[in-house]
Chains A and B, each alone.
Chain A
Amino acid sequence: MGSTVATSVIDVSKTFGQDKDQVTALDRVSVDIRENEFFTLLGPSGCGKTTLLRLIAGFEHPSGGKILLHGEEISHLPPFKRPVNTVFQSYALFPHITVSENIGFGLSMQDKPANEIKETVAAMLKLVQMESLADRRTDQISGGQQQRVALARALAPHPKVLLLDEPLSALDYKLRKEMQIELKTLQHETGITFIFVTHDQEEALTMSDRVAVMNQGRILQVGTPKEIYDHPAERFVADFIGDTNFLAADLNQSDNGRMMVTLPGGRTVETTQSDFPGAGKVNITIRPEQASLINGPSAADLSGTINNVVYSGNDTHVHVMLESDEPFVVRVQNRGAQSAQWESGQAVGIKLEPGSVQVLQD
């Protein structure tokens, strides 16, 4: 993967409204999106994902900061002068023209020669498997097909960057799974930089090369899905990306320079993290699947009493109340009789996998 920067967002802020009604949608956001990358903006509703996309597309203008495309500032350009295309959440297909004409719209607005438009449209129809519906009107095709046309329409002019605003959210579960794979393949085949917006953490983790987690107009953490999942920097990130446990702990440097975390109950485990908030009282997070239950407290890192066992298909969530009065969930895979042996009221020990303790910044 090339590591040249496709889009730089530098210190960008966006405020809507005036005086009392002021809303800060983006607060000094900075991020570099690399060329050929599948980059995802992930965050809860209202955190500013769409606003950031619209700023890159040119539908909104930044209140502060600037946006570069391949090193050139584009903040002042109108949308039709930016080599960036958008797949809208609602698809926004033109209802008065056919599928083919929708796909060719961008090219014809760029005054490309007719035969080139025809060729590209044909190639795009093939790419998204819509050849048989080329002459349909866009209100006569299904949601999934509309999705494909919207994608083809945005890809046809071969933009430098493709912006996708929750393009899959209107599809049903199965179709969404299929389209996730198709999108990923398309991105790979076309080599176009994708900036993808979603509030579905699973979607973000499965599709992206890198993810930016946003909250309240700020980017909290940028990293590969694995980095984000395994090493969340902040409590919000850990909580938003999958289920997790939070505990209060003590962080100390041992005599030989290693960083040791003292868990509730007194056991210490080593952490190999490099970014620390500083020694003293800290919050830590442990993923439920990186802990296991054992009988008896002798070899356990944590101990407590089971107060609930929740079956959920693939695995069982065992809710434990620790002796420190903190709740802790352990995920046990449903293989053989393993999960059946745990029941409410039972005293258990919890064993943590090495490296499972993540110290948070806040």
Chain B
Amino acid sequence: MNSSAPGRQLSSVERVALKRESRRNILLCTPAMIVLFFAASGPLLVMLVYSFLTPGDYGGVVYKLSSDGWFRVFFHQDIFDETVSVASAHLSIFWRSIKLSLLTTIAALILGFPTAYFIATRPVKSRNFWLFLVTIPFWTNLLIRTFAIMELIRNRGLVNNVLMKFGVIEQPIQMLYTDFAIMLGMTYVYLPLMILPLYASMEKLDFRLIEAGYDLYANRFRVLRKVIIPLVKPGIVAGSILVFIPSLGAFVTPRVLGGGKNMMLGNLIELQFGQGRNWPLGAALSISLLLIVMVAMLLYVKNMQKNKGEQN
């Protein structure tokens, strides 16, 4: 809908129509809003409250205000001499989570972009078939797929066996329980989430614009950079967000493929609610994760706007 010129008087008919339309719009989104409110905002509120309470002895919380949960996110207090130091273990997990999620997003973008382009340039009839192939992994449980990857890359797994059989390597390569394994797993799991939005914006791409680019002396690389990428940017943004955010909170993949040592935020949080029996710390970590996502989104949007500003 166009925003009307400032100061324009709406006729009474227009006003009534506008009112009716906005009432209908509210009705349309109300059910989803209710679900979202109770399923997202509710637990979030609970988390926020829990993060300021005291841990119970066997998990759960005691209703006594405390900043201990938040304190422990960043600092570590020695149990014996009570000296306080920075919680470097936590911070390195934060850092690893961000790093691995970024790398996963980049890997998914690099792999997903040509795939989405390929699908978008197929004849209309066969596109659905290719999209269908992309969604097949969703048919099976995440855990099963992750264990399958584990089977492939473990020391006596398929990859190492084949490489050794053909004499490419003498000793098996340690792939399982490394950051590489986590990244590989997450890239595999979230790749469809990159391909689908990318495809959606490439499908709308006017391929005559690409021809116009070639016509105006842009070679293939420059057509990609100056025409295709700017035009499918909404898909790149959507895909990156859809991959980055769940990667940041992932815990099945890092647990199975990263082993106990290579934790990510999701595992750290899970630990606090499980064996750690420190729900306030877990809650504080969860809220921190949310804050990281928000800051990342903010930076991303800012950056996008800056790019736009440069173009104009």
Contact = CB atoms under 8 A, between A and B. Distances in A.
A333 interface: no
> For chain B, what secondary structure do more than half of its interface residues adopt (helix, strand, loop), or is it mixed?
helix
A137 to B, nearest CB: 8
A85 interface: yes
Interface stretch (B134-142, B173-181, B206-214): B206-214
Given A80-B217, A96-B231, A88 B208 contact: yes
A80 B216 CA distance: 6
Given A95-B231, A109-B217, A90 B312 contact: no
B290 interface: no
B218 A80 contact: yes
A79 B213 CA distance: 9
B122 interface: no
B311 A88 contact: no
A218 interface: no
Contact of A98 (B206, B219, B312): B312
B76 to A, nearest CB: 50
Nearest to B218: A109
A279 interface: no
B9 to A, nearest CB: 25
Nearest to B217: A109
B219 to A, nearest CB: 5
Contact of A85 (B215, B222, B312): B215
Contact of B206 (A57, A79, A92): A92
Interface in B297-312: 311-312
B227 A79 contact: no
Contact of A79 (B209, B214, B230): B214
B156 to A, nearest CB: 49
Interface in A46-64: 57-59
Given A92-B212, A96-B231, A110 B217 contact: yes
A44 to B, nearest CB: 23
B219 A80 contact: yes
A217 interface: no
A86 B215 CA distance: 7
B211 A85 contact: no
Residue of A80, A86, A106, A154 with most chain B CB atoms under a 10 A cut-off: A80
B304 to A, nearest CB: 13
A88 B206 CA distance: 13
A154 B227 CA distance: 16
Contact of B312 (A86, A95, A135): A135
6 A-B pairs with least C-beta separation: A106-B216, A92-B212, A109-B217, A79-B214, A92-B208, A109-B218
Contact of A88 (B212, B230, B312): B212
Nearest to A163: B215
Interface of B: 206, 208-209, 211-219, 222, 226-227, 230-231, 311-312
A304 interface: no
Contact of A105 (B208, B216, B219, B311): B216
B215 A57 contact: yes
A94 B216 CA distance: 12
A157 B217 contact: yes
A287 interface: no
A153 interface: yes
Given A92-B206, A109-B222, A80 B311 contact: no
19 contacts: A59-B214, A79-B214, A80-B214, A80-B216, A80-B218, A81-B217, A85-B215, A85-B216, A92-B206, A92-B211, A94-B209, A96-B230, A106-B217, A109-B213, A109-B217, A109-B218, A153-B216, A154-B215, A157-B217
A95 B219 CA distance: 19
B201 to A, nearest CB: 12
Interface in A72-93: 78-81, 84-86, 88, 90, 92-93
Interface string A89-119: 0101111111001000110011000000000
A178 to B, nearest CB: 24
Given A59-B211, A92-B209, A92-B211, A97 B217 contact: no
A81 B214 CA distance: 9
A86 B217 CA distance: 11
Contacts of B226: 105, 109
Contacts of A90: 206, 208
Contacts of A101: 311
A321 to B, nearest CB: 50
Interface string A205-240: 000000000000000000000000000000000000
Contacts of A57: 215
Most buried by B among A78, A109, A153: A109
A79 B226 CA distance: 16
Contacts of B312: 98, 135
Contacts of A79: 211, 214-215
A128 to B, nearest CB: 16
Contacts of A86: 211-212, 215
A84 to B, nearest CB: 8
Given A81-B217, A92-B206, A98-B312, 9 more contacts: A80-B214, A86-B211, A86-B212, A94-B209, A96-B231, A105-B216, A106-B216, A109-B216, A109-B226
Interface string A130-145: 0000010000000000
